[in-house]
Amino acid sequence: MSNTALYSDSKGSSPNTESAVMASEDVEAEASAPITFNEQTNYVPRKTIITIFLACSTVDLIAIMDQTTLAASLSIIGEALDASDKTSWISGGYFVTSTCFQLLYGRLSDVWSRKHVLYAGLAIFFLGSLAASLAQTATQLIIFRALTGIGGGGLVTVVQLIVSDVVPLRTRGKYQGILGAVVALSNGLGPVIGGLLATHASWRWIFRLNLPLTALTVCCVVFFLPLRKVTGDWKRKLQAIDFFGALLALGGTSLLLLGLTWGGGERPWRSAPVVGTITGGGVLCVAFVVWQWKGTAYPLVPMHIFRSGIVNGACITMFLHGWNILVQLYYIPVFYQLAMGYSALKAAAMLLPITIMASVSSTLSGLVVHWLGRYREPILFGWVAWAVGLGLFSTLDASSGLGKQIGYALLTGVGLGNTLQPALIAIQAGVARRDMAVTTAFRNFTRNLGGTLGLAIAGTILTNLLTTTTTALALSPTDHTLFLRNPTTYLASLPAAEAAQLRAAILPVYQHGFRIIFRIGAGMAAVAVVVVWALIPQVELEVSSPTEEGCEGLGLGPGAEPAERKGGA
């Protein structure tokens, strides 16, 4: 109904009636209008940026260290809780929820502001860590780790969005590179700290450590992080949050991970539970894509962002990146323990050459992006180095010297450091600013999804090889199960002579299994080189005002298009 018609129909009525009709029409018009979100760009002076990065670095530190401190202590936790067969889910529960809830955090930060959503994530993370430190059973610990993942999943994503809000696109490379160095160091320190705490104190201190660190982080966020107010009716904006889509993603990922974890180890691949969970997970994943495409006006993953080749290329490479980095963090210490005979602490320390070099190369690649405005070359160089490094890593055996071990690790670290943050700059350069939050969240979702599936499949490879070997050794069903649950603990329970005989039999199996895992990683890095070359062109990176970044507004109605940019080879 037009305003003219409204007024003509209202003649002769009382002023109160006319006002009520007009107010009703205004409400209907507002309800039918597309939901828009506030622009949160807030470029600040360099002095303020330094304090902001102090706050952001503490957030990244606790988020990443929490994921990796468990890597060197899962077997100790499994033995303490008498649940070695469930240790994969102690880490897996966190990764599943953190992966899926990342999709929500991007949109939620548009509704309530980055800072308020960061508060919520830190609060959930704190409560989950507190509950995990008090867990009495493995089931309780898995549930509480999943709760921690709900909070932890959004921390890194929101930090990346805050950085994108306070510095221009080209300058962003320098600061994202510094944050990448913090992430890399956290990846290396986490397993060492976790191993120390689990061995010399109690595994509960792994989770207790999060409590003071989270409190410190909240203080940094309160005092050092500026807040740009978000206006409008947040209740109406909340209608644009696709909770059903997040539920589909959570269900699909959980079922796929469960089936891949079961397959070949606890249950045969052709058994009904394995086939059913993998099939069900696949169906839910397809349903998620269809729902995002046709089912909701405000999807977590808007389909129009995939019209950008940069987005497609960056998401594919981030899936491969997540696969490689998490498999390395969790299985390189295991490789050194089982195939090289190192202690748990020394095995965890062998990650340090990778992570220290990754920190250096991440900072340098960020400076290259800042100085030259080029992100494509660092990404390509990084993936080539990573492919070569993992290929060489697959040749290590018990006779390999320390020089080779460290040298190959350093080369792998060069690859890791050059491929993470420049890819974030690339994907943010490939979309309009109105799509930056959801695109960044989806980029992190694909990275975590790759890592989660990579861990499951790497574990399945080792389990299948060990199952074949233990069957040939004619172990009893009970011994067979105990061995697969925790080989280190089982060997320690045997007489010395018997343990030495079994260790000699399984050592070649472990070496073969790790060789397969590292070669798969090298192959994925090689695929990433091709993807970057074919799908990620160099585009101009703006250095000035936010309006030059496609910041005309954040209307998020259906059909929103990415900004046009100048491309280049």
For residue 41, give Cα distances in angstroms to 114, 165, 218, 437: 11, 4, 22, 12
Q: DSSP 3-state assignment of 12?
A: coil
pLDDT of residue 543: 57
Q: Can you state the percent helix, strand and coil of the chain, rounding each to 5? A: 80, 0, 20
pLDDT of residue 33: 57
The predicted-structure confidence for 463-477, as pLDDT tens digits, reads as follows: 788 777 776 776 777
Phi, psi of 229 (to 5 degrees): -65, 140
Domain definitions of the chain by residue range: 46-226+298-545, 242-297
Residue type, 188: G
pLDDT of residue 318: 94
Residue 536 φ/ψ region, left for φ over 0, alpha for ψ in the -120 to 50 degree band, beta for the rest: beta
Q: Beta strands 567-568 and 538-539: pairing type?
A: antiparallel
With contact defined as beta carbons under 8 Å apart, do 34 and 555 qualify?
Answer: yes
Largest distance between two CA atoms of the chain: 105
Other C-beta atoms lying within 10 Å of the C-beta of residue 139 = 13
The predicted-structure confidence for 265-308, as pLDDT tens digits, reads as follows: 667 778 898 899 999 999 999 999 999 888 887 888 888 899 88
pLDDT of residue 38: 58
Low-confidence ranges of the chain (pLDDT < 70): 1-43, 72, 84-85, 227-228, 231-232, 234, 264-266, 471, 474, 485-486, 488, 542-569
pLDDT of residue 189: 81
Buried b (16+ CB within 10 A) or exposed e, 558-567: eebebbebee
Contacts of 174 (CB under 8 A, 6+ apart): 366, 367, 369, 370
How far apart CA 110 and CA 234 sit, in angstroms, is: 10
Residue 563 φ/ψ region, left for φ over 0, alpha for ψ in the -120 to 50 degree band, beta for the rest: beta
What is the crossing angle of helices 352-372 and 376-393, to 10°? 160
Residue among 120, 210, 105, 116 at smallest CA distance from 158 = 105
DSSP 73-95: THHHHHHHTT-GGGHHHHHHHHH
Average model confidence (pLDDT) across the chain: 80
Residue 342 φ/ψ region, left for φ over 0, alpha for ψ in the -120 to 50 degree band, beta for the rest: beta
Residue among 115, 113, 125, 124 at smallest CA distance from 225 = 115
The distance from CA 369 to its chain's CA centroid, rounded to whole angstroms, is 23
Superfamily of domain 46-226+298-545: MFS general substrate transporter like domains (1.20.1250.20)
Residue appearing with tokens 């104190």 = 201
How far apart CA 310 and CA 318 sit, in angstroms, is: 12
Residue among 214, 62, 39 at smallest CA distance from 126 = 214
Instruction: Tell me the H-state helices in 263-302.
Output: 272-290
Contacts of 524 (CB under 8 A, 6+ apart): 320, 323, 324
How far apart CA 350 and CA 363 sit, in angstroms, is: 21
How far apart CA 263 and CA 548 sit, in angstroms, is: 51
How far apart CA 100 and CA 157 sit, in angstroms, is: 12
Residue 539 forms beta bridges with which residues? 567
For residues 132, 65, 197, 327, the Cα torsion angle rounded to the nearest 10 degrees is 100
Q: DSSP 3-state assignment of 351?
A: coil
For residue 438, give Cα distances in angstroms to 13, 23, 238, 240, 350: 49, 34, 15, 12, 36
Residue among 355, 367, 414, 339 at smallest CA distance from 171 = 367
How far apart CA 485 and CA 473 sit, in angstroms, is: 17
Residue among 151, 104, 109, 106 at smallest CA distance from 129 = 151
How far apart CA 204 and CA 69 sit, in angstroms, is: 11
How far apart CA 438 and CA 445 sit, in angstroms, is: 10
With contact defined as beta carbons under 8 Å apart, do 78 and 137 qualify?
Answer: no
Tokens of 559: 């059909």
Residue type, 110: D
pLDDT of residue 3: 41
Phi, psi of 167 (to 5 degrees): -135, 150
What is the crossing angle of helices 169-200 and 309-338, to 10°? 20
Q: What is the CA radius of gyration of the chain?
A: 25
